[in-house]
Amino acid sequence: MNDQIVPVITIDGPSGAGKGTIAQMLALDLKWNILDSGALYRTLAYFMSKNHIALRDFEKKLEFIKENFIVKFDPGVADEPVKVIFHDQDITNKVRNEEIAKKTSFLASDPLIRTFIKPCQREFKELPGLIADGRDMGTVIFTDAQLKVFLTASLEERAKRRQTQLKRQGSEVNMRLLLQELEERDKKDTEREHSPLRPADDSVIIDTSNLNPKEVLKEIKKYIQI
C-alpha cells in the first residue's frame, strides 16, 4: 500500500473569481494533477441530460451512472480552459456553457448528487499532488489540505471575466443577463443547505478584483511550503 502523503491545495470561490486560471497555472507550474469540481458537476449534468436521467430517477439508475461516469482532467495549456475528458472524448466546450451551468447549479444543490460526487472527487488525490478547484474543496472534500485558498472578486469584475471567457469560446453574451445570472448563481451557491460556498476557517482569502493572474499566483506561492 502506498501511504505517502499526497499534498492538496484547494482553490475555492465564486464563479469568475479566477479559480480556473489560477488552479491551471498552479497545476502546470507544480506538475500536479487537477480537479475542476465545477466541471465534474457540469459533466454529470451533461451525462444525465444526454441519457435522459431525471433527478428523481437518480437512485434507480445509480449502477448505470457509477459504471459510466468516467471523467478525467487535463490541465492543457495556459489561456485555454482545463480540458474535460469524458470516456476519452474531449467534451470541454459541451459542458462549459451557460445552459449547462444553469442545469448544474440546480443539480449541485441536491444532497444525493453531492453524496455521489464526493468519492469521485477524492479519487483525484494522487501523487505527486492535487490542485482542487471548486466551492467546498477546503470546507468539505479535502479538509486536511496543506493549503486552502479562497479567491473572491467583485460581481462586476467576475461578470467581465466570464464575458471574455465566453466570447473566446465563440458565444455572444448580454452583460446585463450575465450579471443577473451570476448573482442568482452566487445566491444559490452561498445560501444552499448542503455545502454552501464559504471560505474555510483556515483559508487564505485573496480578493483578485485588481490583480492579474501572475500577481495572484505570486501571492499564493508565498504560502506554499511543500
For 4, list phi and psi in degrees, rounded to 5. Answer: -70, 140
Which span sits near ligand DC by CB under 6 A: 61-69, 75-83, 130-138, 205-213? 130-138
Burial class (CB in 10 A: 0-12, 13-18, 19+), 20: buried
Applying CB under 6 A, which of residues 25, 65, 91, 135 lies at the interface with ligand DC? 135
Which span sits near ligand DC by CB under 6 A: 77-85, 104-112, 144-152, 211-219? 104-112
Name the one residue in this structure whose C-alpha cell is 497545476. Answer: 27
**Three cell numbers written together for 54:** 431525471
Applying CB under 6 A, which of residues 7, 18, 38, 129 lies at the interface with ligand DC? 38
Task: Dump the DSSP string for 204-223.
Answer: EEEE-TT--HHHHHHHHHTT
CB of 3 to ligand DC, least distance (A): 27
Which span sits near ligand DC by CB under 6 A: 26-34, 37-45, 53-61, 173-181? 37-45
Does position 206 bind ligand DC by CB under 6 A?
A: no
- Detail the DSSP E strand segments found in 66-217: 71-74, 83-86, 89-90, 130-134, 147-152, 204-207
CB of 46 to ligand DC, least distance (A): 11
Residue closest to ligand DC, measured at CB: 38
CB of 41 to ligand DC, least distance (A): 4
Applying CB under 6 A, which of residues 10, 15, 163, 208 lies at the interface with ligand DC? 15
First to last CA, the chain: 22
